[in-house]
Structure 1
Amino acid sequence: MQSIEANGYQIFFNENGYEKINDFISEKKYSSIFIIVDEHTNEYCLSKFLPNLATEIPIEIIEIEAGEEIKTITTCVEIWSILSDLGADRKSVLINLGGGVITDIGGFIASTFKRGIDFINVPTTLLGMVDASIGGKNGVDLGNLKNQIGVINVPQMLLIDSDFLETLSQRELRSGLAEMLKHGLIYDKKYWEQFLDLSQIDFADFDTLIYRSIEIKNEIVKQDPTENGIRKALNFGHTLGHAIESHFLQSATPLLHGEAIAIGMILESYISKEKGLLSNEEFYQIKYIISTIYEPHDFSDEDIVSIQNLLIHDKKNEYGKVQFALINGIGKIIINQSVENELIINSFKDYKS
C-alpha cells in the first residue's frame, strides 16, 4: 500500500513499513531505543515486532499495565523515572507499540521528557490504527475525565501492520470499527454505505477499509492540525460518548472507547434529526446499523444526570457552553452546535425506547 503523507510525518503500511522504520532509525543515529508496551502487546505483539527491527542500537522494553485506568500522570512519572534511570537522552527514541492508551501516553511522555524526544507510533489495535495514533494528540486522563492533560505533537512516523489485528478479540475489533463508522458519517457517505451489510464485507481485504479510514482522518487533520475548526468534526459522537465512557470508567461494567462512541453517535444522530439536520430515514438507518453491531446499554436516571454533569468538562467547550459536532446529512458535518439539556435527555429516552 502507498504511504500517506501527514503533517510532518508519513504513515507506512505492513512490510514496507518495517523497511522504512529501519532506514529511518539508521539515518537518525539514535543513542538508544525504548519500546513502551502493555502486558498484552508484550505477550502477543512484541515477538512479531522485534525480529523486524534491524539495528545494533541498544533496546530497552518498558511494560505497563493494560487499560484506560493506567493512563494517568502517575504512570508518566514512573516512566520518566525509568527513562532517566536507564540513561535516556535527547538522542533516544521512544517506540509506542500498542493500542490507543499506549500511543496516547507514550506520545505525551516523549513530548515532555527532556523537553521532547522523538517517538514512533506502531498501533496494534484497530482503534489505534484508524484513530488514536493519527493526528498528534497525546495525553492522559485527569481522574475519570478523559484526555484532560496533553499536547499536540506528531510522531516521526507511523507504522500500520494489520497482522496485529489477529491478536484482538471481537469486542476490541468492534471498538475500533466505531471510529470507522464515524469517518463515513462525517465525511464520506459511500464509505458509510460499505458497512450497511457487514455480511458483504470481504474481511480478507479489510486493509482497504482501514486505509480509507486513515485517509479520511488525515485529510481532516491536515486542514486543521490544532482543532480550531474542521478537526472538531472528528468529535461527532464523542461529546456524549466521552462523558458516557468517563461515567462508567470506574464502574463494575466499564465500556470500551468504541462502545461508548457508538452510543454517542446514536444519541447525537437523534439530536441532529431533532434539529432538522438529518432526515428520519437517515437517522433510523444509523440507529439500526449501529444497534446491530453493539449491544444496548442500560442507563438509569442517575446515570444520565451524571453524564450531563460530566459534559461541562468536555475539551470542546467554549465560554462555558457545551459544543457539539452534528451531522448535517450523512457524509456532512456542522460544528460548534449548542444543544439544550432537554434535547439531550430526549436522546437518551429515544435510545432506551
Structure 2
Amino acid sequence: MAIPKHVLIAPIGQSLEQVLQNTSFSKLFVLTDENTAAHCYPLISSILPAEHLHFSVPAGEEHKTLQTCSSIWSQMTSAGLDRQALVINLGGGVITDMGGFCAATYKRGVRFINIPTTLLSQVDASVGGKLGVDFEGYKNHIGLFGEPEAVLADPVFLKTLSPRELRSGYAEVVKHALIADAGYWQKLLEQEQWQELDWQNIISHSIGVKGDVVLQDPTEKGLRKILNFGHTLGHALESYRLEGSAEQRLLHGEAIAAGMICEAWLSAQKCGLSEESLKEIARYISSVWPETMAKPEDIPAILGRLEQDKKNEGKQVLFSLLKAPGESVYNIAVQQAEARQALAWYIKKGWQ
C-alpha cells in the first residue's frame, strides 16, 4: 500500500517548512476553527511567514455550510488574495473539506495545503480530494473533487483531541480494515485496548488503503464507492441528528460506527457475509461504541434521508457492503424495508 506522493507523515515543523520553501505564493491564508486556533495554530505559527493571514470560523459540522463559506470568501477578498495565493487548512474534516472547497472555487481556484488535526481527517479526509459542504441538512451535498498541493499529517495533533474525538476517528480505521484488509482487521480484534495502538502506523496504513483505492478510481465512478461502507445509513443518521440540539448531535465516526453495524447486517442478508463475521463485527464495534445512536421512533426520519444519498441511481438506494472482512462490493440496491430491518436489528442489539 503506497502513500500518495503529496502526503507527508512527519513532524509538522519539518514537513511544513519543507513545503513552504518549495512553494511560491503571493499571500498565505491560514484557515482554522475556534478549536484549532487555540490548540493547533500555536504549533505552526512560528514556522509561517510573519505576514501570513489567519481567519477562524466556528467549530462543528453545523457550521459546514455555504453561509460559512461566504464569510471565508469575503475574508479572502478583503485580504486581496489573487490566484497565486496559497491557503492552509488547519483542522479536522470540516475545515479541510470546507477550506478546500472555498480555495478551489475562489477565483476559479487557488492552491491549498491541508494539515489534518484529527484522527478522522488524517486517516480519511486527508486523501481523495473530496471537497464540499452540507446543504439543507444533507451531508456534503454541494462540492467537487480537487487535490491539495500537499497533506501534512503529524500524530502530535492527536494529543489535542478529546477521547470522544479520537474514538470518532477510529471508526474510519475500522472501516478501512473491513473493506480491504482482513489481516489488519484481525490485528484490531487482537488489540485489547484500541487507545494503545501505534497511531503513526495506523495513519500510514489507512492512508495507504484509501490511497490505493482513490488511485484506481479518483472520481468515484466504481471501486471508490467501497469507501462508503457504513456511510449510507451512517450519513442519514448523522444528518438526522444534526437537526436536534447540540447534545443530540453525533460526531461523524459515531454515526459511521452505527452505520457499519447496520450495513454489516445488510451484508449478511444480501452478500453472503457469514453470521459469525456479522456478530464479530457488531460485537467489536459495539464494544468501542456501546451507546445506541438511534431509537425506534427515529427510523422513519432516518430512512427519509436515504433518498438524497449521492450514490443513488434514479430511485434505487445503492449501498457498499461486505462479502467477508476485507472483501467489499458496491452498487448493491437495498429496499427501504430492508434498511428499516437493519436499523431495527441495530437498535435491539440483535448480535447479543
> Could you tell me which amino acid in structure 1 is paired with residue 140 of structure 2?
N
Does 2:292 align with 1:293? no
* Aligned partners of 1:104 and 1:133 also within 8 Å: no
Does 2:140 align with 1:140? no
Q: CA RMSD in A?
A: 1.7
* Aligned partners of 2:316 and 2:334 also within 8 Å: no
Does 2:81 align with 1:85? no
Distance, in Å, in 1 between the alignment partners of 2:280 and 2:336 is: 25
Residues 1:90 and 1:331: Cα distance change in structure 2 (over 3 Å): same
Runs of at least 5 residues in structure 2 that lack an aligned partner in the other structure? none
* Aligned partners of 2:258 and 2:293 also within 8 Å: no
Match of 2:63 among 70, 76, 81: 70
Q: Which moved further from structure 2: 225-234 or 338-347?
A: 338-347
The count of aligned residue pairs is 346
1:199 aligned counterpart, secondary structure: coil
State the 1:106 CA deviation.
0.3
Q: Which moved further from structure 2: 186-195 or 115-124?
A: 186-195
Q: Provide, for residues 33-87 of structure 1, a one-character-per-residue CA deviation record: whole Å limited to 9, x for no partner.
A: 111000100000111112234x46x201100000001110111111111111011
Does 2:228 align with 1:235? yes
Q: Percent identity?
A: 44
Aligned pairs (5 A) from 1:92-241: 92-199=85-192, 203=196, 205-241=198-234
1:159 aligned counterpart, secondary structure: strand
State the 1:25 CA deviation.
2.4
Aligned pairs (5 A) from 1:22-101: 22-53=17-48, 55=49, 58-101=51-94
State the 1:337 CA deviation.
0.3
Distance, in Å, in 1 between the alignment partners of 2:7 and 2:231 is: 25
Distance, in Å, in 2 between the alignment partners of 1:123 and 1:307 is: 30
State the 1:250 CA deviation.
1.8
* Aligned partners of 1:32 and 1:93 also within 8 Å: yes
Aligned position for 1:284:
279
* Aligned partners of 2:232 and 2:306 also within 8 Å: yes
Aligned position for 1:256:
251
* Aligned partners of 2:2 and 2:212 also within 8 Å: no
Q: Provide, for residues 229-275 of structure 1, a one-character-per-residue CA deviation record: whole Å limited to 9, x for no partner.
A: 10000000000000000000021311100000000000000010112
Distance, in Å, in 1 between the alignment partners of 2:262 and 2:195 is: 29
Residues 1:210 and 1:27: Cα distance change in structure 2 (over 3 Å): closer
State the 1:3 CA deviation.
8.6
State the 1:29 CA deviation.
2.0
> Could you tell me which amino acid in structure 2 is paired with residue 14 of structure 1?
A
State the 1:137 CA deviation.
0.2
Residues 1:200 and 1:64: Cα distance change in structure 2 (over 3 Å): closer
* Aligned partners of 1:3 and 1:13 also within 8 Å: no
Task: After the TM superposition, list the runs of 4 or more consecutive aligned residues in structure 1 that deviate by more than 6 angstroms.
Answer: none
Aligned position for 1:14:
10
State the TM-score, normalized to the length of structure 1. 0.94
> Could you tell me which amino acid in structure 2 is paired with residue 11 of structure 1?
V
1:12 aligned counterpart, secondary structure: strand
Distance, in Å, in 2 between the alignment partners of 1:161 and 1:202 is: 17
Q: Provide, for residues 116-138 of structure 1, a one-character-per-residue CA deviation record: whole Å limited to 9, x for no partner.
A: 00000000000010011211000
